[in-house]
Amino acid sequence: MNQPSRKKRERRNAGWVWLFFLCLLLPLHLWFPELGTGAMDDSYSSSASGKKAFYLLLETETFGAERNRVPLNVLIQSLDYDETLCLLGPARYPSPLEWASLLAWVEEGGRLVIAANHEHPEFEIVPLDIRVSYLDETERENIPRAKSEKMNEARLSFSQNEVHGLLESQATTVFSDAPSIIWETNAQVESPTGETLISAGETKQAVKLRHGIGEIVVAASSELFSNQSMVDGGSVPAYRLIEAAGAADYVVVDEALNASGTSKVVALLIDPTFRPLTIQLLITLLIFGWWRSTRFGPILSSHILPRHNIVSHTDNVGNLHYKKGNGRFLLYAYVKQLFTQLHLRNFRGEEHRVIDPIARRMKKDPQQIKSFLKQAAKHTKSEKIDRHQMGDLIRQLSEIRQAAQPGHSKD
């Protein structure tokens, strides 16, 4: 059995490579890796630091939960006073103008929960005299440590070595069903008034304040709402912290601050809004590349051109000269080739040494053949020769050519 050629084997292997990459792209509709410069800990993220699990919990436990992606000033105009707005570890904190809109909405009865982002937890609400700041060295040492599991000891020791790294502390709460929890923090809430909901040692970690007829809950860390915290049993205290602002019937989780607080130079095409379109474009480009680089099916017979031989070439040249109607060029080429073959230039003045043997074989007068050759050479210099005349001259020249070969004679 004949083995396939190397080129065919390479073509077959290349087809498997294209199919492999196509199979990698198709599952991206269901699962997409965390890439880009956007926030990796928002409510869309399934990573350990993301908050997707908590958002799904809100959808289950409340009458309604939704994400917001419009600017806060626009959102406030559509929020009802029985809804709870959650800012859970935003990539940026509200601007002074946005704070003014938020506080005005809370004063009229709205409920706000804001948890600091551990990467930059410092922010301040000036009208309420409340701020979140980093723990100093003394406060970090006095916070009671949580008994971490062995699998978390390496991460804990690494965090403790950082100046503002997260600490796993044993915190106390006012919630009856979760009086003690593991609280990861690197900051504290400073507020002369307000009710302390969660504390770690002597530091306040979550505080509730009343503003007008609304409520505001400020937390020093958003790690309690992460997917990892939901796995470790933090779902109950996280939900109770949302309830502390009021009955959590309708909850809005803000993503506008995450979207506007992160660079979109690279992450725009893999943003959740445009991600399906990006995947479809990649699949289309992949299929187009596969189609252009691989031959599907047998080669079309119409694309195989027959190989031309010398006879076909001669026929084509003759047809071109026939259509042109001028045989001078063909006659010139034939006379030149014949004179070269007879070596007439080498016998100038003694042409009879070449012509006499030819005349003897043709049984003609040598002077007659010499006159005919002169006439044929003269015709090659004329502007145009009729093709019939050219045919007669070449026919007679061919007889001379045959007679010039030894062993040929005209019978």
Q: For the segment 251-291, what is each residue's pLDDT rounded down to a tens digit?
A: 999 999 987 765 555 556 666 667 788 888 888 888 888 88
* Same domain (yes/no): 135, 197: yes
The conformation of residue 279, written as its DSSP 8-state character, comes to H
pLDDT digits (tens, 9 = 90+) for 313-334: 777 777 777 777 666 777 788 8
* Same domain (yes/no): 95, 218: yes
Check residue 236 and give its pLDDT.
93
Which range is least confidently modeled, 120-129, 192-201, 330-339?
330-339
Q: Is residue 277 part of a domain?
A: no
Check residue 383 and give its pLDDT.
73
CB 344 within 8 A of CB 351: yes
pLDDT digits (tens, 9 = 90+) for 285-317: 888 888 877 766 665 665 556 666 777 777 777
Check residue 90 and give its pLDDT.
92
Check residue 272 and give its pLDDT.
67
Check residue 343 and give its pLDDT.
81
The fraction of the chain above a pLDDT of 70, given in percent, is 81
Check residue 228 and give its pLDDT.
92
Domains in the chain, number: 2
Q: Is residue 83 part of a domain?
A: yes
* Same domain (yes/no): 74, 203: yes
Average per-residue pLDDT for the chain: 82
**Range 98-115 average pLDDT:** 95
* Same domain (yes/no): 225, 340: no
**Range 75-94 average pLDDT:** 92
**Range 87-101 average pLDDT:** 93
**In the predicted structure, residue 48 carries a pLDDT above the cut 80:** yes
Buried b (16+ CB within 10 A) or exposed e, 177-200: ebeebbbbbbbbbbbeebebbbbb
Check residue 248 and give its pLDDT.
79
**Range 333-346 average pLDDT:** 81
Check residue 153 and give its pLDDT.
45
pLDDT digits (tens, 9 = 90+) for 59-81: 999 998 999 999 999 999 999 88
CB 203 within 8 A of CB 143: yes
Check residue 157 and give its pLDDT.
43
Q: Is residue 342 part of a domain?
A: yes
* Rounded-to-10 torsion of CA 85, 173, 192, 201: -130
**Range 376-402 average pLDDT:** 81
Which range is least confidently modeled, 106-120, 252-266, 345-359?
252-266
* Same domain (yes/no): 258, 394: no
Q: Which of 119, 169, 173 is nearest to 139 (CA)?
A: 169
Check residue 152 and give its pLDDT.
47
* Same domain (yes/no): 130, 50: yes
> Higher model confidence: residue 117 or residue 26?
117
**Range 138-148 average pLDDT:** 83
Domain-terminating residue out of 262, 286, 321: 262
* Same domain (yes/no): 120, 257: yes
Q: Is residue 280 part of a domain?
A: no
Q: What pTM was computed for the model?
A: 0.58
Which range is least confidently modeled, 139-143, 173-177, 245-249?
245-249
Is residue 401 very low, low, confident or very high in pLDDT (cuts 50, 70, 90)?
confident
Q: Rounded to an integer, what is the distance from CA 175 to the centroid of its chain? A: 49
Check residue 57 and give its pLDDT.
94
**In the predicted structure, residue 155 carries a pLDDT above the cut 50:** no
Q: Is residue 304 part of a domain?
A: no
Domain-terminating residue out of 262, 293, 320: 262
Q: Is residue 34 part of a domain?
A: no
**Range 128-138 average pLDDT:** 93
* Same domain (yes/no): 367, 219: no
Neighbour-count burial of 323, counting CB atoms closer than 10 A to its CB (0-12 exposed, 13-18 middle, 19+ buried)? exposed
Check residue 122 and give its pLDDT.
95
Which range is least confidently modeled, 182-191, 335-344, 377-386?
377-386
For the beta carbon of residue 411, count every other beta carbon within 10 angstroms: 3
* Same domain (yes/no): 55, 141: yes
Range of the domain at 243: 39-262
Q: Tell me, what CATH number does 214's domain have?
A: 3.40.50
